[in-house]
Chain A
Amino acid sequence: MSLHNEIGKIGENFAKEFLKKQGYRIIEQNYKTKYAEIDLIAEKSAGFFGKKELVFIEVRTKIGENFGSPEDTLNKSKLRKVMQNALAYSAFKKWRGPSRIDAICIVLKADCTISRLTHHENIIGS
Chain B
Amino acid sequence: MLIKVPSVANLGLETIKVDIEINLANRGLPGFEIVGLPDKAVDESKERVRTAITSCGIDFPAKKITVNMAPADVPKEGSLYDLPIAVGILSSVLEFPVPDKSLFLGELSFDGGLRHTKGAFLMALFAKEFGFKNLFVPKDSANEAAAIKGIKVYPVENLTQISRHLQKQDEINPVSYKQVSQSAPAPAEFDMKEVLGQEQAKRAMEIAAAGGHNIIMIGSPGSGKTMLARALPGILPPLNEIESLEVTKIYSASGGIPPGGSLISSRQFRAPHHTASLVGLVGGGSKPHPGEISLAHRGVLFLDEFNEFPRQIMEAMRQPLEDGYLAISRSKQRVIYPADFMLVASANPCPCGYAMHPKKNCICNPNQIAKYQKRISGPILDRIDLHISVMPVDTAEFEDNQKNSEFLEASQIIKQRVVLARQKQEKRFKNETIHSNSQMKNSHIKKYCKLSKDVEEILRQASLKFQLSARSYMKMIKVARTIADLDGAEEITISHMAEALQYKPKNYELA
**A residues touching B (Cβ–Cβ < 8 Å)?**
71, 74, 103, 118, 120-123, 126
Q: How many B residues face the partner with a CB closer than 8 A?
A: 7
- CA–CA, A118 to B26, complex, Å? 11
What secondary structure prevails in chain A residues at the interface with B?
Answer: loop
Are A122 and B28 in touch, CB under 8 angstroms? yes
Closest to A122 in B: B27
Q: How many A-B residue pairs have CB under 8 A?
A: 20
B-side contacts of A123, CB under 8 Å: 28-29
Bits for B18-31, please: 1 = Cβ < 8 Å to A, else 0. 00000001111110
Bits for B22-63, please: 1 = Cβ < 8 Å to A, else 0. 000111111000000000000000000000000000000010
- CA–CA, A122 to B62, complex, Å? 15
Are B30 and A121 in touch, CB under 8 angstroms? no
Instruction: Give 15 CB contacts A-B under 8 Å.
Output: A71-B29, A71-B30, A71-B62, A74-B29, A103-B29, A118-B62, A120-B27, A120-B28, A121-B27, A122-B27, A122-B28, A123-B28, A123-B29, A126-B25, A126-B27
B-side contacts of A103, CB under 8 Å: 29
Bits for B96-109, please: 1 = Cβ < 8 Å to A, else 0. 00000000000000
A-side contacts of B26, CB under 8 Å: 121
A-side contacts of B27, CB under 8 Å: 120-122, 126
Closest to B30 in A: A71
Are A126 and B28 in touch, CB under 8 angstroms? yes
Closest approach, in angstroms, between the C-beta of B54 and any C-beta of chain A?
A: 14
Closest approach, in angstroms, between the C-beta of A40 and any C-beta of chain B?
A: 17
B-side contacts of A121, CB under 8 Å: 26-28
7 more A-B contacts (CB under 8 A) besides A122-B27, A123-B29?
A: A71-B29, A74-B29, A120-B27, A120-B30, A121-B26, A121-B28, A126-B27
**B residues touching A (Cβ–Cβ < 8 Å)?**
25-30, 62
A-side contacts of B28, CB under 8 Å: 120-123, 126
- CA–CA, A83 to B37, complex, Å? 29
For the complex of A and B, 5 pairs with smallest distance between CB atoms? A123-B29, A121-B27, A122-B27, A120-B29, A123-B28
- CA–CA, A71 to B29, complex, Å? 8
Closest to A69 in B: B62
Closest to B66 in A: A126
- CA–CA, A118 to B27, complex, Å? 11
- CA–CA, A118 to B30, complex, Å? 11
- CA–CA, A74 to B26, complex, Å? 17
Closest approach, in angstroms, between the C-beta of B30 and any C-beta of chain A?
A: 6
- CA–CA, A76 to B299, complex, Å? 56
A-side contacts of B29, CB under 8 Å: 71, 74, 103, 120, 123
- CA–CA, A126 to B495, complex, Å? 81
- CA–CA, A103 to B27, complex, Å? 11
- CA–CA, A122 to B64, complex, Å? 11
- CA–CA, A118 to B28, complex, Å? 11
A-side contacts of B30, CB under 8 Å: 71, 120
A-side contacts of B62, CB under 8 Å: 71, 118
Closest approach, in angstroms, between the C-beta of A99 and any C-beta of chain B?
A: 15
- CA–CA, A121 to B26, complex, Å? 8
Closest to B63 in A: A120
- CA–CA, A91 to B62, complex, Å? 33
B-side contacts of A122, CB under 8 Å: 27-28
- CA–CA, A122 to B30, complex, Å? 11
- CA–CA, A74 to B28, complex, Å? 12
- CA–CA, A78 to B467, complex, Å? 82
Closest approach, in angstroms, between the C-beta of B510 and any C-beta of chain A?
A: 75
- CA–CA, A126 to B26, complex, Å? 11
Closest approach, in angstroms, between the C-beta of B24 and any C-beta of chain A?
A: 14
B-side contacts of A126, CB under 8 Å: 25, 27-28
Q: Which of A103, A118, A122 has the most CB of B within 10 A?
A: A122
B-side contacts of A74, CB under 8 Å: 29
- CA–CA, A120 to B25, complex, Å? 11
- CA–CA, A122 to B27, complex, Å? 6
Closest approach, in angstroms, between the C-beta of A46 and any C-beta of chain B?
A: 13
- CA–CA, A126 to B31, complex, Å? 12
Closest to A74 in B: B29
- CA–CA, A109 to B229, complex, Å? 76
- CA–CA, A76 to B27, complex, Å? 18
Closest approach, in angstroms, between the C-beta of B495 and any C-beta of chain A?
A: 83
Closest approach, in angstroms, between the C-beta of B32 and any C-beta of chain A?
A: 13
Closest approach, in angstroms, between the C-beta of B196 and any C-beta of chain A?
A: 73
Closest approach, in angstroms, between the C-beta of B31 and any C-beta of chain A?
A: 9
- CA–CA, A74 to B31, complex, Å? 12
B-side contacts of A120, CB under 8 Å: 27-30
Closest approach, in angstroms, between the C-beta of A79 and any C-beta of chain B?
A: 8
Closest approach, in angstroms, between the C-beta of A18 and any C-beta of chain B?
A: 17
Closest approach, in angstroms, between the C-beta of A10 and any C-beta of chain B?
A: 23
Closest approach, in angstroms, between the C-beta of B360 and any C-beta of chain A?
A: 75
- CA–CA, A103 to B30, complex, Å? 11
Closest approach, in angstroms, between the C-beta of B10 and any C-beta of chain A?
A: 33
- CA–CA, A120 to B26, complex, Å? 8
- CA–CA, A58 to B207, complex, Å? 81
- CA–CA, A121 to B63, complex, Å? 11
Closest approach, in angstroms, between the C-beta of B285 and any C-beta of chain A?
A: 35
